[in-house]
């Protein structure tokens, strides 16, 4: 059996969380990511960072779609940081890309800001800085 | 003198004894000098005059003669004896070293003396000086000289023996140190077989404190504490020990043996060698036994071999029960006297016994026919179920009758257990990928060994691999069922003959590791020489995927053939899937093959699916446009793209298993597919090209199902031509 080096990093606290999987996301590993996302279900802002993925197939896609549905149903904010070109292509080809909120993470997550990410309380350290992107393509 | 000469005394003691003998009986002064490491050293001086202690001391310290000087010097150098009848001034002056020495010699007031070289075994050992002084007033005669020469011979022998004895002692001490520091056990037996020497390692090996303890043990006791076995497991008779064979006159080879301590059950591996020591006549005088403990090495070797054999077994067969039986057989007798394997059933309610092995074939029946073998419920309070539930192994060394009584289900069970007489057990969970699928039980009975940490580690490793094999075999069974279901009912074995078109297809289910995704392909008649070809791909696990696939096929077929529209079918399918309670995502590529007066055309709709390839005049290009996948979002619109098709064109549809195939460094991807199809000459050729390209590229097990459908435009069949039979190539099923 091949060793699958798949890990999931989590940064942040209960209100704003970045979940970053690393490695290949497929049928064998998707369960672990699913479990981690489920653990973070109470976060007001959940960011899924795909930059660490070397591969993603339809099982990962299904998970993203499911996560988004859950967020919509519960009123949470779910965003996705685009990964590699091939990962992005899967979102494009399947038409899922335009339904997701794509974003960039530009600094370490510090405190919660739900709602408009650009608004910061004065004196507070930078929260998740996000920038709306037009699509999942990443150069 | 004979007593003195027997050699047990040291040199000094011997020399002193000689002087005691001689003074005052035969001399007033006796001096013994010996040659030691090339120089003379004064060993002893004795004066008969009890008041002359100071003088004695000074004579002892007197500088010793060198070379040819009269007296001791001459005696030692030439090995001669000399009688000095008097000591006139000139003799004294010749002997004396300096003024002080001369004064000392004068004060001795010697009247006569004898100096004799002490010689033994051809060497001069030293010199004996006997002097008479005015104290006694006696003088030596020539007869005295003769006597002294004989006497001196004996003295020399005595000193020689004493010297040898010292040498021997030194040598013995050195040997002792050398042997003592060895980690191998060294014992020496005399020719009657009695132990006359043992080093510390020997004591350690036998669990005794010191070598003396070893020598003190009666010979039988040393052996009866243990059971001995050959490497192959056959009982080893102590008569076969190399030491005993040497005593019997043989020249045995080194012997590897397994030793089990009867009391503690501990076992060890030893390598024993023995050699004979013979005297100059060739008779056996001693047997030297060297025994090395090779437990660590041997265990590692056996463990590796066991795991390798297990690995082969697991690789060789996917028949679960056969494999587990062979695993149980492997464990016996190396790891245990008997072994059972239980696996949880599909409903996860009980642990069923699937394999049993015992060193004694008769006892296999005993174990198998009794309650010992019955299924164990998962909530059973006993150890087996507990190990299964907790996933933690249990080891019990030292099983008592009370324990048996406590776990026996009834009297009959207890009787059987008593007959089997287990004394230690190791119960291990069979766990793979975090899930426990069964329990492996090892029991030690007749061999009375206990399970130590190394055994546990080895057994745990074996259990891990066995568990992985169980999972794999289960998967295989499940997938075989699904695959055959898919093949039988969900996948048409042959695509129907499509007039005007030739088709070819390929379906490769995923390899051992993964669950089945659900790829399918379908040909739906839409009426009037119009066909809908679909290749679809469903995400998810085996049976769920199969169910979803069935739903997709049914819906597409029903709606498409009713409405004549593939887009309507996809719309409906999408809405139904979005509304489903569980996420049900699929992709599909639909190709509608249509006859027109001017020729043929195809409508292409991709619903989240990789674009098909059109090979025209042997040159492949991707065609179609990406559209949304099915089951993700409602309100999606499916657009079709229409292309004219010429005779000879080949359209290739495939699932993403092709693009996702894993190679040495990356995935197959679209470019490789396009390259593979360059030069395609027909539908069958297209499918073969893809198959070969994948076979060359793929590394390791295939992760996802692969489906490929190729359709080639042959020629039109118009109503006018109905009567004419057009030779159609039959469609080819997947390889």
> A93: which chain B residues are within 8 Å (Cβ-Cβ)?
606, 608-610, 626
Q: How confident is the model at residue B39 (pLDDT cuts 50, 70, 90)?
A: confident
| The pLDDT of residue A34 | 92
**pTM of the complete model beyond 0.95:** no
Query: In chain A, whose CA is at the least distance from the CA of B637?
Result: A95
Residues recorded for chain B: 735
> B514: which chain A residues are within 8 Å (Cβ-Cβ)?
27-28
| The pLDDT of residue B427 | 94
B31-35, B43-47, B627-631: lowest mean pLDDT where? B43-47
Of B514, B585, B609, Cβ closest to residue A27 = B514
DSSP annotation of B667 reads B
| The pLDDT of residue A128 | 43
Q: Do A27 and B583 touch (CB under 8 A)?
A: no
The DSSP element (H or E) to which B395 belongs, if any, is: strand B394-397
Nearest to B664 by CA among B696, B693, B703, B706: B696
| The pLDDT of residue A127 | 38
pLDDT digits (tens, 9 = 90+) for B448-479: 788 888 888 889 888 888 887 777 766 666 66
Q: CA B718, B719, B722, B728: dihedral to nearest 10 degrees?
A: 30
Size of interface A-B (CB pairs under 8 A): 71
Alpha-carbon distance A27 to nearest alpha carbon in chain B (angstroms): 8
Q: Are the C-beta atoms of residues A71 and A125 closer than 8 Å to each other? A: no
For the beta carbon of residue B204, count every other beta carbon within 10 angstroms.
16
For the beta carbon of residue B237, count every other beta carbon within 10 angstroms.
10
Residue B722 has pLDDT above 50, yes or no: no
Q: Are the C-beta atoms of residues B728 and B492 closer than 8 Å to each other? A: no
pLDDT digits (tens, 9 = 90+) for A71-101: 888 888 999 999 999 899 899 989 899 999 9
Q: Do A28 and B656 touch (CB under 8 A)?
A: no
| The pLDDT of residue B17 | 83
Q: What whole-number distance in Å separates Cα of residue B586 and Cα of residue B603?
A: 20
Nearest to B377 by CA among B347, B420, B354: B347
Q: At what angle do helices B320-331 and B295-316 cross, to 10 degrees?
A: 170
Q: Show the tokens assigned to A118.
A: 């650009």
Of A61, A92, A99, Cβ closest to residue B585 = A61
Q: Are the C-beta atoms of residues B340 and B356 closer than 8 Å to each other? A: yes
| The pLDDT of residue A91 | 93
Residue B619 has pLDDT above 80, yes or no: yes
Q: How confident is the model at residue B602 (pLDDT cuts 50, 70, 90)?
A: very high
Report the alpha-carbon angle A122-A128-A132, nearest 5. 110
Q: Are the C-beta atoms of residues B669 and B661 closer than 8 Å to each other? A: no
| The pLDDT of residue B315 | 62
Q: What percent of chain A has pLDDT over 70?
A: 71
CA B527 from chain centre, in angstroms, equals 69
| The pLDDT of residue A10 | 92
Q: Do B585 and A65 touch (CB under 8 A)?
A: yes
B454-458, B464-468, B499-503, B699-703: lowest mean pLDDT where? B699-703
- Alpha-carbon distances of B196 from B178, B179, B188, B673, rounded to whole Å: 17, 14, 6, 83
| The pLDDT of residue B419 | 84
Contacts of range A102-108, beta carbons closer than 8 Å, 24 or more positions apart = A102/A132, A102/A133, A102/A134, A102/A135, A102/A136, A103/A47, A103/A79, A103/A130, A103/A131, A103/A132, A103/A133, A104/A129, A104/A130, A104/A131, A104/A133, A105/A18, A105/A47, A105/A49, A105/A81, A105/A129, A105/A130, A106/A130, A106/A131, A108/A11
Mean pLDDT of B686-692: 90
Q: Do B628 and A94 touch (CB under 8 A)?
A: yes
> For residues A24-56, b (16+ Cβ closer than 10 Å) or e, as one string?
bbbbbbbebbbebbeebeebebbbbbbebbbbb
Q: Where are the alpha helices (DSSP H) in B337-452?
A: 361-368, 383-390, 401-407, 411-420
Residue B726 has pLDDT above 50, yes or no: no
Mean pLDDT of B27-47: 81
| The pLDDT of residue B550 | 80
> What residues in chain B have their Cβ under 8 A from chain A's Cβ atoms?
468, 513-515, 517, 537, 539-541, 583, 585, 587, 606, 608-610, 626-629, 632-633, 636, 656, 660, 667, 669, 700-701, 703-704
| The pLDDT of residue B535 | 93
Mean pLDDT of B25-47: 81
Q: How confident is the model at residue A63 (pLDDT cuts 50, 70, 90)?
A: very high
DSSP annotation of B489 reads I
Q: What whole-number distance in Å separates Cα of residue B336 and Cα of residue B354?
A: 18
Non-local (6+) Cβ contacts of A50 within 8 A are A21, A56, A80, A81, A82, A83, A84, A87
Of A66, A95, A99, Cβ closest to residue B583 = A66
Alpha-carbon distance A59 to nearest alpha carbon in chain B (angstroms): 6
Q: Do A95 and B628 touch (CB under 8 A)?
A: yes
Q: What whole-number distance in Å separates Cα of residue B591 and Cα of residue B603?
A: 6
| The pLDDT of residue A126 | 35
Q: Are the C-beta atoms of residues B152 and B118 closer than 8 Å to each other? A: yes
Q: Are the C-beta atoms of residues B159 and B120 closer than 8 Å to each other? A: yes
Q: Show the tokens assigned to A133.
A: 């992107």
Q: What whole-number distance in Å separates Cα of residue A91 and Cα of residue B489?
A: 32
- Give chain B's count of helices (H) and strands (E): 23, 28
What is the average pLDDT value for chain B, to the nearest integer? Answer: 81
Q: What whole-number distance in Å separates Cα of residue B24 and Cα of residue B46?
A: 9
pLDDT digits (tens, 9 = 90+) for B627-650: 999 999 988 889 899 999 999 999
> B513: which chain A residues are within 8 Å (Cβ-Cβ)?
1-2, 28
Task: Tell me, letter by letter, the H, E, C secondary structure of B216-263.
Answer: HCCHHHHHHCEEEECCCCCECCHHHCHHHHHHCCCCCCCEEEEEEECC
Of A62, A86, A94, Cβ closest to residue B583 = A62
More confident residue, B292 or B705: B292
Q: Do B541 and A62 touch (CB under 8 A)?
A: no
Q: What percent of chain B has pLDDT over 90?
A: 18
E-strand stretches of A1-138: 7-12, 16-25, 45-49, 53-56, 77-81
Q: Are the C-beta atoms of residues A104 and A130 closer than 8 Å to each other? A: yes
Q: Show the tokens assigned to A72.
A: 């919509």
Nearest to A30 by CA among A57, A3, A12: A57
Beta bridge partners of B40: B35
More confident residue, B442 or B420: B442
| Residue that is written with structure tokens 């289910």 in the block | B509
Non-local (6+) Cβ contacts of B664 within 8 A are B699
**End-to-end alpha carbon distance in chain A:** 34
| The pLDDT of residue B697 | 87
Q: What whole-number distance in Å separates Cα of residue B497 and Cα of residue B504?
A: 10
Q: Are the C-beta atoms of residues B627 and B638 closer than 8 Å to each other? A: yes
pLDDT digits (tens, 9 = 90+) for B642-675: 999 999 999 999 998 899 888 888 889 899 999 9
pLDDT digits (tens, 9 = 90+) for B268-289: 889 999 999 888 888 888 899 9
Mean pLDDT of B508-526: 67
E-strand stretches of B328-375: 338-344, 350-358
The sheet carrying B39-47 orders its strands as B39-47, B29-36, B123-133, B110-120, B81-84
Q: Do A66 and B627 touch (CB under 8 A)?
A: no
Q: Do A95 and B541 touch (CB under 8 A)?
A: no
| The pLDDT of residue B641 | 94
């Amino acid at each position: 059996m091949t060793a699958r080096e798949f890990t999931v990093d989590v940064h942040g606290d209960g209100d704003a969380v970045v979940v970053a999987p690393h490695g290949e996301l497929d049928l064998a590993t998707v369960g672990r990511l699913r479990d981690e996302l489920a653990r973070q279900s109470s976060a007001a802002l959940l960011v899924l960072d795909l930059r660490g993925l070397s591969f993603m197939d339809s099982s990962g896609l299904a998970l993203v779609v499911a996560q988004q549905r859950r967020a919509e149903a519960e009123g949470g904010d779910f965003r996705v940081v685009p990964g590699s070109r091939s990962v992005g292509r899967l979102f494009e080809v399947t038409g899922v890309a335009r339904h997701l909120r794509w974003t960039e993470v530009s600094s370490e997550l510090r405190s919660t800001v739900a709602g408009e990410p650009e608004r910061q309380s004065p004196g507070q350290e930078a929260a998740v800085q996000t920038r709306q992107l037009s699509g999942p393509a990443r150069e | 003198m004979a007593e003195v000469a027997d050699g047990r005394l040291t040199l000094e003691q011997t020399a002193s004894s000689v002087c005691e003998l001689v003074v005052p009986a035969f001399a007033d002064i006796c001096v013994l000098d010996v040659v030691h490491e090339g120089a003379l050293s004064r060993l002893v001086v004795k004066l008969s005059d009890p008041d002359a202690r100071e003088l004695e001391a000074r004579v002892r310290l007197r500088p010793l003669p060198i070379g040819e000087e009269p007296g001791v010097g001459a005696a030692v150098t030439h090995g001669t004896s000399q009688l000095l009848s008097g000591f006139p001034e000139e003799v004294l002056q010749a002997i004396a070293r300096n003024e002080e020495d001369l004064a000392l010699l004068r004060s001795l007031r010697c009247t006569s003396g004898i100096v004799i070289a002490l010689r033994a075994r051809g060497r001069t050992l030293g010199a004996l000086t006997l002097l008479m002084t005015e104290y006694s007033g006696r003088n030596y005669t020539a007869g005295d000289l003769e006597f002294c020469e004989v006497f001196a011979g004996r003295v020399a022998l005595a000193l020689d023996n004493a010297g040898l004895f010292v040498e021997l002692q030194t040598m013995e001490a050195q040997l002792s140190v050398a042997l003592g520091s060895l980690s191998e056990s060294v014992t020496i037996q005399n020719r009657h077989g009695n132990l006359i020497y043992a080093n510390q390692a020997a004591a350690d090996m036998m669990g005794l404190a010191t070598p003396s303890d070893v020598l003190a043990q009666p010979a039988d006791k040393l052996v009866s504490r243990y059971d001995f076995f050959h490497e192959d497991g056959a009982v080893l008779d102590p008569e076969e020990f190399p030491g005993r064979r040497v005593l019997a006159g043989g020249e045995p080879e080194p012997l590897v043996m397994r030793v089990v301590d009867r009391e503690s059950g501990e076992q060890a591996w030893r390598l024993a060698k023995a050699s004979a020591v013979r005297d100059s006549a060739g008779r056996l005088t001693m047997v030297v036994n060297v025994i090395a403990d090779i437990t660590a090495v041997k265990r590692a070797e056996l463990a590796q071999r066991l795991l390798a054999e297990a690995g082969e077994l697991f690789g060789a067969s996917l028949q679960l029960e056969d494999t587990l039986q062979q695993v149980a057989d492997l464990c016996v007798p190396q790891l245990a006297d008997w072994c059972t394997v239980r696996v949880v059933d599909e409903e996860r309610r009980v642990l069923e016994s699937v394999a049993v092995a015992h060193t004694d074939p008769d006892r296999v029946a005993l174990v198998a026919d009794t309650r010992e073998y019955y299924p164990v419920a998962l909530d059973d309070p006993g150890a087996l179920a507990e190990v299964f539930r907790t996933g933690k192994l249990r080891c019990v060394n030292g099983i008592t009758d009370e324990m048996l009584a406590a776990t026996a289900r009834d009297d009959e069970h207890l009787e059987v257990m008593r007959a089997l007489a287990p004394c230690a057990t190791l119960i291990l969970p069979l766990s793979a990928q975090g899930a426990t699928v069964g329990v492996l039980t090892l029991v030690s009975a007749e061999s009375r060994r206990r399970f130590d940490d190394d055994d546990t580690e080895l057994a745990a490793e074996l259990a891990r691999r066995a568990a992985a094999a169980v999972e794999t075999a289960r998967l295989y069974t499940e997938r075989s069922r699904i695959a055959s279901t898919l093949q039988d009912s969900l996948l048409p074995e042959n695509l129907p003959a499509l007039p005007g078109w030739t088709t070819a297809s390929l379906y490769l289910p995923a390899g051992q590791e993964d669950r089945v995704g659900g790829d399918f392909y379908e040909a739906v008649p839409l009426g009037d020489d119009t066909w809908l070809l679909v290749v679809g791909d469903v995400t998810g696990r085996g049976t769920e995927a199969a169910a979803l696939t069935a739903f997709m096929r049914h819906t597409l077929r029903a709606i498409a053939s009713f409405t004549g529209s593939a887009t309507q079918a996809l719309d409906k399918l999408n809405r139904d899937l979005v509304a489903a309670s569980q996420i049900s995502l699929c992709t599909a590529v639909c190709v509608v093959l249509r006859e027109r007066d001017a020729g043929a055309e195809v409508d292409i709709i991709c619903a989240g699916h990789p674009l098909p390839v059109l090979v025209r005049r042997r040159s492949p290009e991707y065609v179609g446009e990406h559209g949304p996948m099915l089951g993700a979002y409602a309100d999606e619109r499916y657009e079709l793209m229409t292309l004219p098709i010429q005779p000879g064109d080949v359209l290739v549809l495939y699932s993403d298993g092709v693009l996702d195939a894993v190679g040495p460094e990356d995935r197959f991807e679209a470019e490789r597919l396009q390259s593979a199809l360059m030069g395609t000459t027909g539908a069958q050729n297209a499918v073969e090209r893809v198959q070969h390209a994948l076979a060359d590229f793929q590394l390791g097990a295939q992760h996802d199902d692969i489906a490929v459908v190729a359709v080639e435009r042959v020629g039109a069949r118009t109503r006018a031509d109905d009567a004419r039979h057009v030779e159609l190539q039959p469609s080819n099923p997947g390889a």
